[in-house]
Amino acid sequence: MGTGLGRVVVAGGSGLVGRKLVRALLDRGAQVQVLTRNPATLHVPAGASAHGWEGLPGLLEGVDAVINLAGEGIADRRWSSARKTAIRDSRTRTTARLVEAMRGCGQPPKALVSASAIGYYIPRDTRPVDEGTGPGSGFLAEVCRAWEGEAEAASALGVRVALVRIGVVLDREGGALPKMALPVRWCAGSKLGAGTQGLSWIHIDDLVAMLIEAARNPAWSGAFNGTAPQPLSNEAFMQLIAQRLRRPLLPVPGFLTALATRLLLGEMAEALLLQGAFVLPARSQALGFQFRFPTAKAALEDLL
């Protein structure tokens, strides 16, 4: 199945999502070039090629789309001041560098699909939010606003910009799901904190399809939520994992799990685990995007 895309540049193609995206683009007949700091050591699938950032702006000349997934892992380690700076700069500076390179193109890319995150909305109560909802507060919301602002600057160059605010990506090979399922497998799983906080997720195959659609479809402009249409509370999601694995959830009081999580992870625990939002993909659905895994039950049956 084709995409209508010819040449695509992927920044951040070595991560969990990036690797699957590159393979999916190749399977659909696109010519894929991966931007990386270490092109000599990055293994890319047959048919793709790895390139250093020093190849800009020439690498971007006349491409159909740039898909920007670059950025340090948010949950890789406890947040320190230095870590927070690295998280912010790896997103804003990389995006700014891409846009600056586009200014040097005689024929800029047709589209820039730039990742953002649902941290844009957090914290929230239990009322659902969509792309028309304003930003939250705190570190993640500030990073997302700055990140998106750098990407939006490309629109002044005639580049169509689509911002995909990605939720919790579910995949069997990595990311959040194996970490969430492990204590459940050992009969030690429980909700985190109150358990009422939103957990807005997306199956990795649907996210990859959404990124490709955003790259190829001229109607995709502005912000889109990279989440499935059925966000759940943390407690409801953990219950589904337990049902799938045929394990019980421990009835641990929420204040104990919240305390333990804060002691272990510090500020990151509050921002990523103990707060959340119920995020709906209103704009992609309005444009007819079809999810293969619209419910958490279907996603977990595929992945666990």
Per-residue pLDDT tens digits for 263-286: 888 888 888 899 999 999 999 999
Continuous segment of H or E residues that includes residue 40? none
**Residue 265 in 3-state DSSP?**
helix
- Count other Cβ atoms within 10 Å, centred on residue 7: 16
The Cα–Cα gap between 216 and 236 comes to 35
The count of other CB atoms within 10 Å of the CB of residue 219 is: 12
In a domain, 174, yes or no: yes
pLDDT above 60 for 1: no
pLDDT at 269: 87
The pLDDT, as a whole number, for residue 3 is 66
Among 25, 87, 115, 98, residue whose Cα is nearest residue 59: 98
Q: Is residue 1 part of a domain?
A: no
pLDDT over 80 at 2, yes or no: no
Distance CA 172, CA 162 (A): 27
- Can you tell me which residue has the tokens 């109150």? 194
CB crowding 122-156: b at 16 or more within 10 Å, else e: bbbeeeebbbebeebeebbbbbbeebbebbbbbee
Does residue 35 lie within any of the structural domains?
yes
Number of folded domains in the chain?
1
> How high does pLDDT run on average in the chain?
95
Question: What residue numbers bound the domain in which 36 lies?
Answer: 7-303
Q: Residues 141-171: pLDDT tens digits?
A: 999 999 999 999 999 999 999 999 999 999 9
Q: How far is CA 280 from CA 58, 118, 169, 266, 294, in A?
A: 38, 10, 15, 28, 11
Within a domain: 215: yes
Name the 3-class secondary structure at 231: coil
In a domain, 131, yes or no: yes
Q: What is the domain-level CATH number for residue 48?
A: 3.40.50.720
Q: Residue 40: pLDDT above 90?
A: no
Domain-located, residue 2: no
